[in-house]
């Protein structure tokens, strides 16, 4: 009996969902930073301060947290697999 070397459709679908969630979180962070930098007074100074000190607006911190949560969600199965090995 021959086994397929291609991922199952459910694995491919799951990977697509994970990739889409990661893309959305990254895109959201970029959009929030652009909005903060361009739409508000002193935005470029805030963006520079964030790069050098880590101080950011609430919206930027929330978007960063969302991205961190998404990355943790992506890495969770890999970390769980390594701990069982």
Q: Is it the case that residue 59 has pLDDT exceeding 60?
A: yes
Is 8 strand, coil or helix?
coil
Write out pLDDT tens, residues 16-25. 898 999 999 9
CB atoms within 10 A of CB 70: 19
For residue 9, what pLDDT is reported? 65
pTM above threshold 0.75: no
Tell me the torsion sign for CA atoms 46, 48, 50, 55: negative
For residue 76, what pLDDT is reported? 84
Higher pLDDT, 61 or 15: 61
Q: Is it the case that residue 12 has pLDDT exceeding 70?
A: yes
For residue 80, what pLDDT is reported? 67
């Amino acid at each position: 009996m021959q086994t397929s070397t291609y991922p199952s459709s459910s694995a491919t679908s799951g990977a697509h969902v994970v990739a889409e969630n990661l893309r959305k979180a990254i895109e959201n962070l970029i959009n929030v930073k652009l909005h903060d930098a361009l739409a508000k007074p002193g935005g470029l100074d805030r963006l520079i301060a964030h790069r050098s000190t880590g101080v950011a607006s609430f919206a930027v911190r929330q978007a960063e947290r969302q991205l961190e949560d998404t990355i943790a969600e992506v890495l969770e199965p890999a970390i769980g697999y390594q701990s069982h090995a």
